[in-house]
Structure 1
Amino acid sequence: MLQQIRKLFEQIGCSADVEARDEQDVRMISAALLVEVATVDQKLDQCERDTLTQLLCQHYALDLTSATEIVNEAIAQRDRATSLFEFTQAVNDQFTERDKYLLIRQMWQVAFSDDVIEAFEEHLIRRVAELIYLPHGLFTKARAEARDMKNT
């Protein structure tokens, strides 16, 4: 996954098609972090996969096929990832505070999707929130909103 992101970053600036590639980077970064939450417990159930795809469709206005392809690529590349730092550094470089908040809320939505919040999931989301400098108040608000969205 990190190789894919590095490749995409290298392509930025090498072409006039920077905006399209930049948007692709953001989608892949988001998908990669959402997949990390879904797979941190070493299992990926259909509810988590469906939630991942649905969130990407909604947030990036993607069709189901495109979102599914991004999710599949993120899952396939997961084992190649070496650290969260490169993902979170890209988030810090490219996301606004609102985008960071939405990302953390989406991570919580994935965690809540199977009705079980594993300690590993919570730890990962907390760690990402710290690395992207999301204020604690927004972290807890994101969790509460994701929980409320699940219960409605």
Structure 2
Amino acid sequence: MLQQIRKLFDQIGRGDDVEIREEKDVRMISAALMAEIATADRKVDEREHAALVSLLQDHYGLDVDTAQSMVETALKDRHEATSLYEFTQTVNSNFSERDKYQLVKQMWQVAFADGEIDAFEEHLIRRVAELIYLPHGLFTRARAEARDSSNPDPE
């Protein structure tokens, strides 16, 4: 997955179809990182899968088939990832602080989708947040907002 994303960003750097490919890249980056969270505990709960599709639909205005296809691609191709660091470099080059915050919040939403946070999920989200230089206050705010949105009635 990371090799494909890197290749697409190389094409963007050369000016090839920038407007079309940039949007696709951003969506696939989000899908790939969220898929990593969904699989961090070695299983993809159907609630996590549904959260992946829903988050991509809502955030990028995708139809259900496109979002579903992106999730399936991200889940299928995740074994091709070479390095989290290389991936987060791409995020740092192309995401604003607000976009980084949204990405981390979405990662938390996927993690909370099955009702429990696995230690691997938390570690991975924390590591991504560090590598994309998201301030700790925004990291904790993203977690709290994701937790609150996954549990609307905290009683």
- Range class of TM-score, shorter chain: over 0.9
1:31-46 correspondence to structure 2 within 5 Å: 31-46=31-46
1:11-30 correspondence to structure 2 within 5 Å: 11-12=11-12, 13-15=14-16, 17-30=17-30
Distance in 2 separating the partners of 1:11 and 1:91: 16
Which residue number in structure 1 is paired with residue 144 of structure 2? 144
> Contact 2:3–2:82 at 8 Å: present in 1 too?
no
> Contact 2:32–2:74 at 8 Å: present in 1 too?
yes
Which residue number in structure 2 is paired with residue 108 of structure 1? 108
Structure 1 unaligned regions, length at least 5: none
Distance in 2 separating the partners of 1:47 and 1:80: 24
Which residue number in structure 2 is paired with residue 99 of structure 1? 99
Distance in 1 separating the partners of 2:133 and 2:49: 27
Distance in 2 separating the partners of 1:84 and 1:7: 16
Task: Calculate the TM-score normalised by the size of structure 1.
Answer: 0.96
Which residue number in structure 2 is paired with residue 67 of structure 1? 67
Q: What SS does the aligned partner of 1:19 have?
A: helix
For 2:151, the aligned partner's letter is: N
Task: Please report how far the alpha carbon of residue 11 of structure 1 lies from its aligned counterpart in structure 2 after TM superposition.
Answer: 2.4
For 1:83, the aligned partner's letter is: S
For 1:147, the aligned partner's letter is: R
> Contact 2:38–2:111 at 8 Å: present in 1 too?
yes
Deviations 1:40-66 (A, max 9, x none): 111001100100010000001111111
1:75-86 correspondence to structure 2 within 5 Å: 75-86=75-86
Distance in 1 separating the partners of 2:87 and 2:66: 21
Distance in 2 separating the partners of 1:7 and 1:92: 16
Aligned length: 151
For 1:95, the aligned partner's letter is: F
Task: Calculate the TM-score normalised by the size of structure 2.
Answer: 0.94
Deviations 1:7-56 (A, max 9, x none): 212322353x2111011111111111000000011100110010001000
Distance in 1 separating the partners of 2:5 and 2:36: 15
Distance in 2 separating the partners of 1:7 and 1:132: 20
| 4+ aligned runs moved over 6 Å, structure 1 | none
Q: Quick one: percent identity of the two aligned structures?
A: 66
